[in-house]
Structure 1
């Protein structure tokens, strides 16, 4: 099962990064491979959403539950779809210089063994692209 941990120091506040990551409804505007999002429920502490993702003619939808603890933590758990397992966590903490330290962890597995093998081969590249998209979006929204 592919798994990745990463820590980044960024020039934004924990609140800003929390707002960006927890705004699942906006993912289709900036995340690669996310074609559309349908938010089923949204509250201060939890969002349930369906995401339609696609790559080279392959499209799949899945449902996830996003647990939110403003401003320090976002946890995403898999509910339904083509995956066997999906879990990711974002932790945001002040870095002492007016910015934020972001700890990110993701792990997943597809039910389909072929998809699982393909994903494992592309995992690092796809993950870098996704993390880069969050950083670019933060710069667009928050850079002074």
Structure 2
């Protein structure tokens, strides 16, 4: 069961990072392995979406509910798909002098042994690439900090 927690201090506001993370309809534009995404519903406190992820010829779809507490917290709750479970949380804390601390946690496991094996082998590399994609997206949207 891959599990990871990471903290980063970024030059963007908590509101900016919250907006980036909750703009799930745009994930296929910048997140690796997100092949397609359909937003079923979206409002200020919650979104529900179906996502197709692909890696080396394998494709799986899953559904999740995204809980939003502007501008400090985002939690992803798994609904259905190839996973046994998926928990994903983002916390955004303003820093003195600007920017924010981003706490990111993900914990998941697959039902499919092949996906579980691939996830275990590639987890750290994939997670670093995903986190970098969010940081690059922030820089593209909000500018590179001096």
- Which range, TM-score by smaller chain? over 0.9
Equivalence for 1:60:
60
Runs of 4+ off more than 6 Å: none
For the residue of structure 2 that corresponds to 1:97, the secondary structure is coil
What is the RMSD computed on CA atoms of the aligned residues?
Answer: 0.7
Residue-by-residue CA offset, 1:30-57 (whole Å, 9 max, x unaligned): 0000011100010100000000110111
- Aligned counterparts, 1:56-95, within 5 A: 56-95=56-95
> Taking structure 1 as the reference length, what is the TM-score of the superposition?
0.98
Unpaired runs of 5+ residues, structure 2, are none
Unpaired runs of 5+ residues, structure 1, are none
- Aligned counterparts, 1:92-131, within 5 A: 92-131=92-131
Question: Number of paired residues?
Answer: 144
For the residue of structure 1 that corresponds to 2:86, the secondary structure is strand
> Taking structure 2 as the reference length, what is the TM-score of the superposition?
0.97
For the residue of structure 2 that corresponds to 1:41, the secondary structure is strand
Equivalence for 1:25:
25
